[in-house]
């Protein structure tokens, strides 16, 4: 009987994990889990200046919603897999920043980490993880803490 219970619990865990794979992104905002498939992602590479710029908005709700998490980075040459920190210049002069918008209350990042796990420059797809802390531009004592952020199969144009 114990063997069947363990097998059943294992299958429930696997089924629960599989459900999460249906989402392109997931993160926690002040401890509240958010996930979805509504996002925009843009990429621009200026060959003359050898400068690349990337930005993605992960919407909490639909793509016209004013609730979203934003990740952006720019630097010399193509971005490569690795860990990038906000507030400092990373290898390749890459700078990353984060923002959170909650019903027109914009939060600017104080600190954050972006880990690019995989980048496909032919298929234009990114996979990675992130976390950051941001402060409201309206009330400096109001903070947003974004944790356990991840994204997969984010296609940029």
For the chain, what are the domain ranges?
24-155
Residue 6 phi/psi, 5-degree rounding, is -65, -40
Q: What is the tens place of the pLDDT at every residue in 2-26? A: 443 333 333 333 334 433 458 999 9
Which is nearest to 28 in space by CA: 144, 117, 156?
144
* pLDDT (average), residues 45-63: 85
Q: What is the tens place of the pLDDT at every residue in 81-114? A: 999 999 887 877 888 999 999 988 999 999 999 9
Alpha carbon of 22 to those of 15, 59, 107: distances in Å? 12, 16, 28
Tokens 């069947």 sit on residue: 4
């Amino acid at each position: 009987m114990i063997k069947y219970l363990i097998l059943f619990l294992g299958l429930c865990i696997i089924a629960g994990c599989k459900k999460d794979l249906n989402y392109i992104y997931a993160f926690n905002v002040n401890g509240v889990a958010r996930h979805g498939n509504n996002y925009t992602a843009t990429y621009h590479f200026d060959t003359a200046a050898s400068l690349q710029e990337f930005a993605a908005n992960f919407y909490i709700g639909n793509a016209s919603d004013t609730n979203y998490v934003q990740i952006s980075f720019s630097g010399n040459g193509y971005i490569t897999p690795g860990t990038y920190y906000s507030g400092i210049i990373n290898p390749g002069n890459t700078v990353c920043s984060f923002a959170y918008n909650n019903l027109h209350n914009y939060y600017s990042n104080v600190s954050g980490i972006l880990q690019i796990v995989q980048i496909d420059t032919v298929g234009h797809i990114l996979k990675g993880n992130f976390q950051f802390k941001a402060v409201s531009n309206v009330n400096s004592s109001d903070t947003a803490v974004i944790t356990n952020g991840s994204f997969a199969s984010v296609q940029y144009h």
